[in-house]
């Protein structure tokens, strides 16, 4: 009888070595996809709901929503529309 190594043997594969690195790459892709989504959501919420901080910024700087165009996207409710815009 020949004597061999004690059992059980530990088997290592190359897949276990790449596991943590793969997860880091997936997290980066997830971050790259989520950042534009959060920015778009924040822009839409800021445009339609105008939080108090944004209203104070407009009051402080004298700006109006719509970037000063002749047909602005949003107007405060207390402004009377000219007949041309209505």
35 falls within a domain: yes
- Taking 60 as the threshold, does the pLDDT of residue 16 lie above it? no
Structural domain total, the chain: 1
Higher pLDDT, 17 or 2: 2
Per-residue CA distances from 38 to 6, 35, 55 (Å): 56, 5, 21
47 falls within a domain: yes
Q: Lowest mean pLDDT: which of 4-8, 15-19, 70-74, 81-85?
A: 15-19
70 falls within a domain: no
75 falls within a domain: no
Confidence of residue 53 (pLDDT cuts 50, 70, 90): confident
CA dihedral 14, 20, 22, 24 (to 10 degrees): -160
Tell me the residue range of the domain where 39 lies. 20-59
pTM reported for the whole predicted model: 0.38
- Taking 90 as the threshold, does the pLDDT of residue 2 lie above it? no
39 falls within a domain: yes
Which sign does the torsion angle of CA 79, 80, 85, 86 carry?
positive
81 falls within a domain: no
38 falls within a domain: yes
78 falls within a domain: no
């Amino acid at each position: 009888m020949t004597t061999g190594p004690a059992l059980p043997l530990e088997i290592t594969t190359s897949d276990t070595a790449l596991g943590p690195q793969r997860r880091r790459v997936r997290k980066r892709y997830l971050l790259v996809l989520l950042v534009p989504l959060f920015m778009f959501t924040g822009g839409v919420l800021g445009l339609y709901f105008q939080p108090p901080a944004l209203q104070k910024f407009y009051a402080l700087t004298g700006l109006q929503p719509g970037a000063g165009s002749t047909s602005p996207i949003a107007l405060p409710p207390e402004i009377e529309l000219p007949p041309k815009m209505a």
